[in-house]
Amino acid sequence: MAEDVVLLDVSDRIATITINRPEARNALSSEVLRLIPEHMNAAERNDDVDVIILTGADPAFTAGLDLKELGSTGGNLGAGNDGGDGSRGPFPKLTKPLIGAINGVAITGGFELALNCDFLIASERAKFGDTHSRVGVMPGWGLTVLLPEAIGIRRAREMSFTGNFMDADEALRFGLVNHVVAHDDLIPFTRQIAADIIGNEQDGVRQIRETYASIAKNDDGWETEARDGRAWSRAQFDPAKVAARREAIRARGKSQ
């Protein structure tokens, strides 16, 4: 069933959202991008949920936009959260903490999903890469704002210009992730961090989260990225070229 490509599980006041297309390395199809915000909204409305975890079905967190769909119809370009609630990026407006449990590669659009979480916990198998320039699409979910905030502008430029991958240990050294744990411990460890959050007064947690968001807010940066992305799509985006680059991108990812 199409609904099975993103799973939602609620237990112990934690909502776990799992991208579930392992055979496609959890590539972001239009259906996946529709369901992630739907499940997040459901978790946000659920009074039995205090913390949300986003992860992927092994072996990947997500390899980014589904290049088959992108190269044929482009239907998943710009899909996802419609921003009708005033939010930016791929997720709806949330008041509850969102933890990314990064179990494998997080590439391009998948990297942007990770960056839009409040903080990240990584498996030892996690890798991060920005291949927007290699694919021939531009960031649209805040990468050029959020990545420099996480690791600094010079390191961010290097990642985006080269398309080279950052492994879990390097991500920890540069502050991209908060913890790196053994792969089999990823979800138990993340749930323990979630339980530590749940043990606090939830109105206070959500107010502090909102205060952090207000302090880090960069409307000008988001608007610049959106403007440049729209201009690129009108003038330069070519689905045929995207399809032609698919195998080279996969080969490079495997080599790294």
Rg (CA), the chain: 17
pLDDT tens track for 170-189? 999 999 999 999 999 999 99
Instruction: Calculate what percentage of the chain has a pLDDT beyond 90.
Output: 74
CA distance 52 to 97: 6
Angle value at C-alpha 168, between 229 and 245, nearest 5 degrees? 40
pTM of the model: 0.89
Give bridge partners of residue 221 from the DSSP assignment: none
Distances (CA, A) of 20 to 33, 91, 208, 211: 12, 17, 32, 33
CA distance 235 to 256: 32
Q: Mean pLDDT across the stretch 115-133?
A: 97
Per DSSP bridges, beta strands 119-123 and 127-129 are unpaired
At residue 243, the pLDDT reads 60
CA distance 178 to 195: 16
Q: SS3 of 116, please?
A: coil
CA distance 2 to 89: 23
Q: Is there a contact between 178 and 194 (Cβ–Cβ < 8 Å)?
A: no
- Across 24-62, b (16+ Cβ under 10 Å) vs e yields bbbbbbbbbbbbbbbbbbebbeeeebbbbbbbbbeebbb
Q: Is the pLDDT of residue 79 over 80?
A: no
Distances (CA, A) of 146 to 49, 67, 86, 129, 161: 26, 23, 18, 14, 16
The DSSP string of 211-240 is HHHHHH--HHHHHHHHHHHHHHHHHT--HH
How do the domains of the chain map onto residue ranges? 2-183+202-255
Q: Is the pLDDT of residue 84 over 60?
A: yes
pLDDT tens track for 59-78? 999 999 887 776 555 554 56
Architecture of domain 2-183+202-255: Alpha-Beta Complex (3.90)
